[in-house]
Structures are given as structure tokens and as C-alpha cells.
């Protein structure tokens, strides 16, 4: 699958509500109905655990 086809598939998923796109973690949290602070903290913890 080429990148154009993948992008089209992603855009279609956004349109039908099976994927979400946001500029920030907080915006994403609001879109999916969870507390933005909780998601931000979770992502921050995950990033720290991924550091070498």
C-alpha cells in the first residue's frame, strides 16, 4: 500500500469516526471523551519510559 492510499484510508477513518486527528494531546482527549490532563500525564510517563 503506498503512502497516498494509506493517507486516504486514514482520512476516511477520520470521516467515519473510527480514527481521530488533533494538533495536541489535549484536543485528542476532548475528541475521544477523556480527561485531557490524565491523557497528557499518561503520554508523558510513556515517553519517559521509552528514553534509553
Convert the pLDDT of each residue in 2-44 to its tens digit.
666 888 999 999 999 999 999 999 999 999 999 999 999 999 9
Query: Does 10 reside within a domain?
Result: no
Query: Does 14 reside within a domain?
Result: no
Query: Does 51 reside within a domain?
Result: yes
Query: Does 7 reside within a domain?
Result: no
Query: Does 27 reside within a domain?
Result: yes
Residue 1 reports pLDDT greater than 60: no
Look at the pTM and tell me if it is higher than 0.75. no
pLDDT value for 2:
64
Owning domain of residue 40: 22-52
Per the structure, the count of domains in the chain is: 1
Degrees to nearest 5, angle at CA 36 with 31 and 39: 100
Amino acid at each position: 500500500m503506498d503512502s497516498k492510499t494509506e493517507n486516504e484510508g486514514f482520512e476516511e477513518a477520520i470521516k467515519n469516526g473510527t480514527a481521530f486527528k488533533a494538533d495536541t494531546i489535549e484536543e485528542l482527549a476532548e475528541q475521544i471523551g477523556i480527561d485531557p490532563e490524565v491523557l497528557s500525564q499518561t503520554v508523558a510517563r510513556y515517553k519517559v519510559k521509552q528514553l534509553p
